[in-house]
Amino acid sequence: MLTTIVRVFFGNMTTAVSRVAGLLTVFSLLGVSVAMGVDDSPSFDPNARQRIPPAFADGQTIELVYVHLVNPTAEAERNGRLREQVADAFTLRPGAAYNQFVAGTAVAAVRGLEFVEAVEERLYSVSGGRQIAVALLVTLRAPEKPTTPPASGALATGAFGDLPLLWQDDRSKLKVILNPAIGTYVDRDPWVGNPGAFVGQADQGRTTAVLEAGLELGIGGITRVGASHTYVYGAASYVGSTTLGRDIFSPETDRAHGEMEDLYAGILVARKGSDRSFNLSVGRQKFSLNRNLLIGHVLGASNGGDRAASNLSPRNAYDMTVDARFQIEDFTLQAWFADPNELPQSDSRTQYAGLNFRYNNNSTIDATLTLLTSPRSDTRYPLPDGTFLHREGLRAVNPRIRWTSAFNIPGLWLEGEWAHQWHQDFDMSADAYGAWIGYSVADVGWNPSVLYRYAVFTGDDPDTPTYERFDALTGGVQRDWAQGLGSIKMLINRNMRTHRIEVSVKPLRGMDLSVDYYYFTADTRNNLGGQPALGTYGDEYLGQEVTPTLQWMVNQNLYVQSLVSFVKPGRGLDQVLPEKTRTWKTFQLSFYWFF
């Protein structure tokens, strides 16, 4: 697969090398210069971050692994050695894809260490997005206590109350997947008062309210192969979803649907204490890249339409993925293929493939470089003269770097990301880029955080022969690159410039309360390829959005999300939409259970 991707991506070797060589040089020098002299053992407590359930982390890339000793010894040097042994036994490193079954076996290996009494795995989002921090909370064992933990789960104990865990020891884990969810969603003046223009439903009421539900049911597990350092793992699950009421997308009032969600198998080669590992997974599974700019897990599977539950989004797995990662020390080489699970009635038959290079020192630097191609797609790019270009043959390069504890200031982080797109068949030069600065305070009440980001997604200037409109592919995740809950439905992460400010606090353990503010302008007035109602903007000013959000991991089994969103349209929409525009108000309350 690696050879095929390189051949497809570098079809025009001279052109590709000229585009990438300079990026690699600058990118590498920047990563090395800021990494020098950095302590590689994090000193902050990730409990200051927002906790998320393991099912939400599946398919995301691990950015940080942190070991916390609940009852440390009196010797700092010994504590350091114990943390290193725990990290070695855990085997998962930054740059690896998180998988709850692989992680479960890694946690069991930690639990089997002679000095470990108990270990708890906690997962946190990083900087408000879906990058994953893994925290291992380790309780040290008294010397006289036994060291071999017994097998657990319903098959081991015969106790029905141990479900959904069927079996777990230091070699294997098998569990039932049972993830119900339910939510209620209300919109006032959806589509800024123009549902006829956006979704062809002029009779849609000014207020819509729906109840949505979903249920994922299946089985998954992992086991060690004999006495080797090889593990095989996989999962199979089925998702049912329903919508009661008429939502903002469809005239139908009651819908229900069911289909396969996960159906994948994988092989992991990882020896305890080794700085090398190999992980290959194939099949239907959740998948994303980096900060989800180009490839994200939310749009990897379409919800809504006949599948219902467009707000709850119970399905996230791609139709087919191949994800191969080889890790050595702080470096990860990833070769991947992804085929999104699109709605049958609008399936573009798009496929993506590429390479991902990552450096992460598990402390301050997380740097990635992605090379991407679309070898197949029916998606077209409309032009003002009525003709079309096509996505198939698209190329992209996407460097990103994050600097935590910047300038040795705890809590300060800087991040930059850029994606450049071109095409093998026509003159295309499109870009998306963003720059962040964020600061969080872990040692004061409520752990306040603030971030600012400026971002650009280029639009096409029809007066030039080059096609410049950026194609967002399946990118976009809430509080990452999904820019505004309501605005993204109209503006679609293309042809825009945005200012974003987010302020967040954590009033209770596991709870995050944030307020996001967006200010949107157009890169160009020409917006062909976006919503048909907005083929041309009347003005560069597109509007603003404010979204207060509450996320609360109540316990290991229940995750709650509640938000309110206000979209105020700007002159760019006012001057081209047929009806008077109004502020779009959205109210959502969702409950997710994980067993």
How would you write the pLDDT of the chain (595 residues) with one tens digit per residue?
Answer: 544 444 444 444 334 333 433 433 333 333 333 333 333 334 344 556 788 899 888 988 898 898 999 999 989 999 999 999 999 899 888 989 999 999 988 998 898 888 999 999 999 887 656 678 999 999 998 776 555 678 899 999 999 999 999 999 888 999 999 999 999 999 999 999 999 999 999 999 999 999 999 999 999 999 999 999 999 999 999 999 999 999 999 999 899 999 999 999 999 999 888 889 999 999 999 999 998 999 998 888 999 889 999 999 999 999 999 999 999 999 999 999 999 999 998 899 999 999 999 999 998 999 999 999 999 999 999 999 999 999 999 999 999 999 999 999 999 999 999 999 999 999 999 999 999 999 999 888 899 999 999 999 999 999 999 999 999 999 987 778 888 999 999 998 899 999 999 999 999 988 999 999 999 999 999 999 999 999 999 999 999 999 999 999 999 899 999 999 999 999 999 999 999 999 999 999 999 999 9
Give the Cα-Cα-Cα angle 321, 326, 331 (nearest 5 degrees).
120
Is residue 79 classed exposed, middle or buried when 0-12, 13-18 and 19+ CB atoms within 10 A define those classes?
middle
Closest among 141, 66, 11, 18 to 442, alpha carbons compared: 66
**Cα 527 → chain centroid:** 27
Element (H, E) at 103: helix 100-111
SS3 state at 299: coil
Residues in the chain: 595
Torsions phi, psi for 118 (to 5 deg): -155, 155
Report d(CA 439, CA 127) in Å as an integer. 9
Give the Cα-Cα-Cα angle 508, 547, 570 (nearest 5 degrees).
165
**Cα 144 → chain centroid:** 44
| Both structure tokens of 279 | 């992980």
Element (H, E) at 166: strand 165-168
Q: How many helices (H) and strands (E) does the chain have?
A: 9, 25
Q: What residues are paired with 536 via a beta bridge?
A: 526
Report d(CA 465, CA 423) in Å as an integer. 13
SS3 state at 462: coil
Instruction: Output the CA–CA distances (angstroms, integers) from residue 268 to 271, 280, 489, 595, in the order listed.
Output: 10, 7, 39, 25
| Both structure tokens of 388 | 């079309």
Q: What residues are paired with 54 via a beta bridge?
A: none
| Both structure tokens of 182 | 């339910």
**Pairing state of beta strands 131-140 and 62-69?**
parallel
Determine if residue 366 is left, alpha or beta; phi over 0 gives left, psi from -120 to 50 gives alpha, anything else beta.
Answer: beta
Residue 146 pLDDT: 56
**What sign has the CA pseudo-torsion 522, 497, 20, 279?**
negative
Catalogue the long-range contacts made by 44-48 (C-beta closer than 8 Å, 24 or more residues apart). 44/410, 44/411, 44/442, 45/442, 46/122, 46/124, 46/133, 46/135, 47/122, 47/124, 47/135, 47/509, 48/440, 48/442, 48/447, 48/506
Specify whether the CB–CB gap between 282 and 360 falls below 8 A: no
Report d(CA 595, CA 462) in Å as an integer. 53
HEC string for 107-143 = HHHHHCCCCEEEEEEEEEEECCCCEEEEEEEEEECCC
Torsions phi, psi for 158 (to 5 deg): 75, 10
Determine if residue 192 is left, alpha or beta; phi over 0 gives left, psi from -120 to 50 gives alpha, anything else beta.
Answer: left
Residue 486 pLDDT: 94
Residue 476 pLDDT: 82
Give the chain's end-to-end CA distance (angstroms, integer).
Answer: 36
Element (H, E) at 104: helix 100-111
pTM of the model: 0.87
Q: What residues are paired with 381 via a beta bridge?
A: 389
SS3 state at 441: coil
Report d(CA 550, CA 37) in Å as an integer. 38
**What sign has the CA pseudo-torsion 410, 432, 567, 244?**
negative
| Both structure tokens of 212 | 């949505």
Residue 29 pLDDT: 33
Specify whether the CB–CB gap between 483 and 496 falls below 8 A: yes
Specify whether the CB–CB gap between 174 and 167 falls below 8 A: yes
| Both structure tokens of 3 | 């050879």
Specify whether the CB–CB gap between 220 and 236 falls below 8 A: yes
Residue 148 pLDDT: 64
Specify whether the CB–CB gap between 249 and 266 falls below 8 A: no
Report d(CA 272, CA 253) in Å as an integer. 54
At residue 179, what is the residue type?
N
Report d(CA 263, CA 288) in Å as an integer. 17
At residue 458, what is the residue type?
T
Specify whether the CB–CB gap between 442 and 29 falls below 8 A: no
Instruction: Output the CA–CA distances (angstroms, integers) from residue 102 to 173, 176, 355, in the order listed.
Output: 9, 15, 23
Q: At a CB cut-off of 8 Å and minimum separation 6, what does 24 contact?
A: 369
Report d(CA 291, CA 294) in Å as an integer. 8
Element (H, E) at 57: helix 54-57
Instruction: Output the CA–CA distances (angstroms, integers) from residue 591 to 49, 203, 296, in the order listed.
Output: 20, 31, 22
SS3 state at 357: strand
Report d(CA 436, CA 448) in Å as an integer. 17
